[in-house]
Structure 1
Amino acid sequence: MKWKLGVGIAIASIAVLGLSACSAEKGNDESAVGGLVANTPATSAPAPTAGTTNAAVTLGTAVTSLGTIVVDGKGLTVYEYGSDVQGSGASTCTGQCARNWLAVPGAKSEPAFPGITGQVGMITGVDGTPQMTLNGWPLYYYVGDTAPGQTSGQSVGDAWWVLSPAGDPIGN
């Protein structure tokens, strides 16, 4: 019985580490799963996954326990990566990092987004597709957020942060 319990704990630990791992190589974050949950109501929108379409998204805001933050049109939280250089026009999230932190798709001509006061833009992401930016920060989804309103990526590895509508990292 103790052996089965030990094996179960080991498997669960490996699964959590595998989901949240980001390589420390080349500026990528070492991460662990956070645990904050936003105060926005959940909808039936799916969480982003690897292989998500590259169609540009809409940005909006949501009031959460972290304050008013930026979310996409489905209520999914978007983040900035502290290892990126604001305004550099480049993402530094590659490899395992890019598998856990998915680029928010952008478009060459971004419309105005109600409630967003920071400048919305676009860069060419690490995979060569357009990636949305806010105030010069490349934007990402966290695969650990499985429903709208979740902010479990907040402060992961002391490098990932939600953004205010002005495009400023919150909690950094």
Structure 2
Amino acid sequence: MFGVVGMGKGLLVIFAAILLLFAGCTQQSPAQPAAQPTVSPSVPPSNAQPAATPPANAPTAAVPPAAGTPSIAQPAPSTAVMVSQNAQLGSILTDGKGMTLYVFTRDSVGKTNCYNTCADLWPPLISPDGGVGGSLSGKLGTIVRADGSRQITYNGMPLYYWKGDAIPGDINGQGYGGVWFVAQPDATGFPSDMGESQAREIAAGTKECTDAGMLTSDSMYNNNSKTWWIGINSTKPGCSPACVVSANKSAQVNWRCTGLVAPQVLIVKTYPTSAFGEILTDSNGMALYVRTTDATNKFSCTGSCAMSWPALVVSSGYTTDVSGLSGTIGTLARPDGTMQATYNGMLLYTYAYDKAPGQVNGNGLGDVWYVAKTSMTTYPQQYSGGY
């Protein structure tokens, strides 16, 4: 009995001690800084509003406004053709960087005839993915070249660059060989070749230029409904009438505010020198040269070579003025479609670094270039001083 009572008292003592301990813990709680709980910076309190979150209808830097505007701009065409203004020609076609574009009269609508060396000098305007853009009055398109690339066309005419143009605005290829012309937005077809006798008479003012009104209606102007290349009787502000009077009192047809140049005459002259005797020159008195490698490899001067050594070229239907020459003047068709003048069968060139008549700065260069002499009947021997 005592054991049970004693055990009961012991249990009561232990239970009382536990109650006292619990009471002591609850009495110390007000002394703790309960009003300032420690909160991790990355985890907001459960009852706090996320102040950094904007209202659902407010735009942020990362989320564009939902106003119906596409969030991604439409990609531009890979190749653009645009209209630029040129001081000499007025409105011309250029690429997106302002480089001048050309057409080749030996092409036909929808077909290119410029390959190999021609394409090296006159690179086609290629669209890498077939895309082309531009707001023009005419129609842009593409054709497939022999290598599978797509060349851009304007009103069906294939477009090209000229390697001789260095910066936007250059038009160094205009009229080259009588077959290359700057592309212009109002062109609906390739330039037409005016007959030599007709054009010469008009340009000299001896025919159809007595009345400006006659020119626009005469069949020689419209070539039986085929309009001549842009420029005749231009209405550009500041232009004179179609028929103007030049300084020497002769009438002349207006071509984009300047006189129309008569068809080309191949003029080869002679020029006496103390070092070489009589040499050949062009119509401006600039020395003509031959290249010895042409003897075995015709037209061996292409690409960058042709920039320093321009071929003496003429347009189709040319006439010659070569009085006093003992040799024979002729022409050969170049790979780019132009006609290069020859003397006794030797191709003739000028040198870009001759700046005045009588200069022969190119003679002997590379032991392949020699000034053309009237006495030459064949190419000089290479590696022997040329003569």
Q: TM-score range by the shorter chain?
A: 0.5 to 0.7
| Aligned match for 2:309, one of 73, 79, 101 | 101
Higher relative contact order (CA 8 A, sep 6+): 1
Does the 8 Å CA contact 1:116/1:166 hold for their aligned counterparts?
A: no
Give me the whole-angstrom Cα distance separating, in 2, the residues matched to 1:56 and 1:137.
19
1:82 aligns with 2:283: no
Equivalent pairs: percent with the same residue? Answer: 34
Do the aligned partners of 2:268 and 2:321 also contact (CA within 8 Å) in 1?
Answer: no
Contact 1:107 1:132 in 2 (8 A): no
Aligned-partner Cα distance in 2 for 1:148–1:56: 19
What are the residue-to-residue correspondences of 1:34-113 with 2, within 5 Å? 51=173, 53-54=176-177, 55-65=264-274, 66-85=276-295, 90-106=298-314, 110-111=319-320, 113=322
Computing the radius of gyration over CA atoms, which structure comes out larger, 1 or 2? 2
Distance 2:374 2:335 in 1: 25
Q: Check conservation: 2:266, 2:319, Cα contact below 8 A.
A: no
1:129 and 1:56 mapped to 2: Cα distance?
15
Contact 1:77/1:151 (8 A) holds in 2: yes
Q: CA deviation at 1:51?
A: 3.7
Q: Distance in 1 between matches of 2:343 and 2:319?
A: 11
Number of aligned residues: 121
- The secondary structure found in structure 2 opposite 1:84 is helix
> For the residues of structure 1 that align with 2:358 and 2:341, how far apart are their CA atoms?
20
Residue deviations 1:29-76 (CA, integer Å, cap 9, x gap): xxxxxxxxxxxxxxxxxxxxx647434530010001221101112110
1:148 CA drift (Å): 1.2
One-letter code aligned to 1:158 = D
In the TM superposition, what whole-angstrom CA distance separates every residue of 1:82-128 from its partner, at most 9, and x where no partner exists?
Answer: 10017x7x311111111111000135565351221111110012422
TM-score for the superposition, normalised by structure 1: 0.62
- Judged with a 3 Å threshold, the aligned counterparts in structure 2 of structure 1 residues 107 and 118 are, in CA distance, closer, same or farther, namely farther
The equivalent of 2:7 in structure 1 is none
TM-score (norm 2): 0.29
Name the CA distance, whole Å, in 2 between partners of 1:76 and 1:132: 14
One-letter amino acid matched to 1:80: V
Is the partner of 2:280 in helix, strand or coil?
strand
Mark the runs of 5 or more structure 1 residues left unpaired by the alignment: 1-49
Residue 359 of structure 2 is aligned to residue 150 of structure 1: yes
User: C-alpha separation between the residues in 2 aligned to 1:99 and 1:164?
Assistant: 23
Aligned with 1:103: secondary structure? coil
User: Which amino acid counterpart does residue 291 of structure 2 have in structure 1?
Assistant: Y
Instruction: Report the CA distance between 1:166 and its aligned residue.
Output: 3.7
- Secondary structure in 2 matching 1:98: helix
- Structure 2 spans left out of the alignment, 5+ residues: 1-171, 178-263
